[in-house]
Structure 1
Amino acid sequence: MNFASVRIITDDVDRLVEFYERVLGVSAERPAPVFAEFILPSCTLAIGHSQTGQLFGAGSVVAAQNRSVIIEFLVDDVDAEYARLKSAVDDWVQEPTAMPWGNRSVLFRDPDGNLVNLFKPVTEEAIKRFSGRR
């Protein structure tokens, strides 16, 4: 089994696409006005309009209600990403910080309130844990 993607359901696809294009530095593929994908080497981040949620069963998904999942991206330089995105992000949760499991992380919320973590392993143990994942 291979992990394929994470999909964010939103009421404003264009706003989230614009936000993640800035964060990720890549353009989204837009096969339909209600759907977009960021196809990255390690994963795909999909964004679907709340109208598409009905295709998964009435009431199965609700836009902008997530408070338990963190969308994480492995980056080369956490501090440089923080500086680059400082003016683009409205809701910073945590400035660059060393985490107890060996990563340096910065956390913020996207326009729908989803938590995003940009991180880099910095301790020897964390670097070993992530070797081969890029």
Structure 2
Amino acid sequence: MNISLRYCHITVDELDESLAFYRDALGLEVRNDIASGAFRWVTLGSPAQPDLEIVLSQPHAGRSQADGDALQELLTKGVLPMAVFGTDDVDAAFERVRKSGAEVLQEPVDQPWGPRDCAFRDPSGNMVRIQHRPEQ
């Protein structure tokens, strides 16, 4: 039996601002942009991983009012789980994202546990890390 990750969700405040970050700054490609009533779900992915997609959606999309409110509160606090991306050139990725105007949390640094990485906040306040793990 094989099992693999297919989708990963990232909750965002404003879809178009977040789409610009994930598409333009990180370089992901838009695969779907689906509207349903007042909400949209946008899926993006990397050409290097054609079977894996990230889904961007707002806190109340497809959720009850109470659940959407709770998720909005966590998003506002900046305490939702981070997303970690891999790259073969973390310094170039850092410069590309920095030039987009994203909030820099950490410039590239060699971590004692192995990877060289950097960190940003997306337009909604989610932490996004980009790392390069040295060859083992």
TM-score by length of 2: 0.77
RMSD (Å), alpha carbons: 2.0
Q: 2:59 aligns with which of 17, 29, 50?
A: 50
Aligned to 1:87: 99
Q: 2:41 aligns with which of 17, 35, 38?
A: 35
Q: Is the 8 A contact 2:9 2:55 kept in 1?
A: yes
Q: 1:22 aligns with which of 21, 24, 38?
A: 24
Aligned to 2:66: 59
Mapped partners of 1:82, 1:31: distance in 2: 30
Aligned to 2:130: 118
Farther-moved stretch of structure 1 (93-102 vs 59-68): 59-68
Mapped partners of 2:98, 2:13: distance in 1: 25
Letter in 1 for 2:61: T
Structure 2 portions without partners, runs of 5+: none
Partner SS, residue 61 of structure 2 = helix
Question: Is 1:72 aligned to 2:84, yes or no?
Answer: yes
- Map Cα deviations across residues 40-83 of structure 1 (whole Å, 9 max, x no partner): 316311111233142xx442242324425120111010111112
Letter in 2 for 1:38: L
Letter in 2 for 1:43: L
Aligned to 2:14: 12
Mapped partners of 1:90, 1:21: distance in 2: 13
Q: Is the 8 A contact 1:9 1:53 kept in 2?
A: no
Q: Is the 8 A contact 1:107 1:117 kept in 2?
A: yes
Q: 1:98 aligns with which of 100, 110, 131?
A: 110
Q: What displacement does 1:3 show? A: 2.0
- Map Cα deviations across residues 82-123 of structure 1 (whole Å, 9 max, x no partner): 12222213311100001121100010100111000110012x
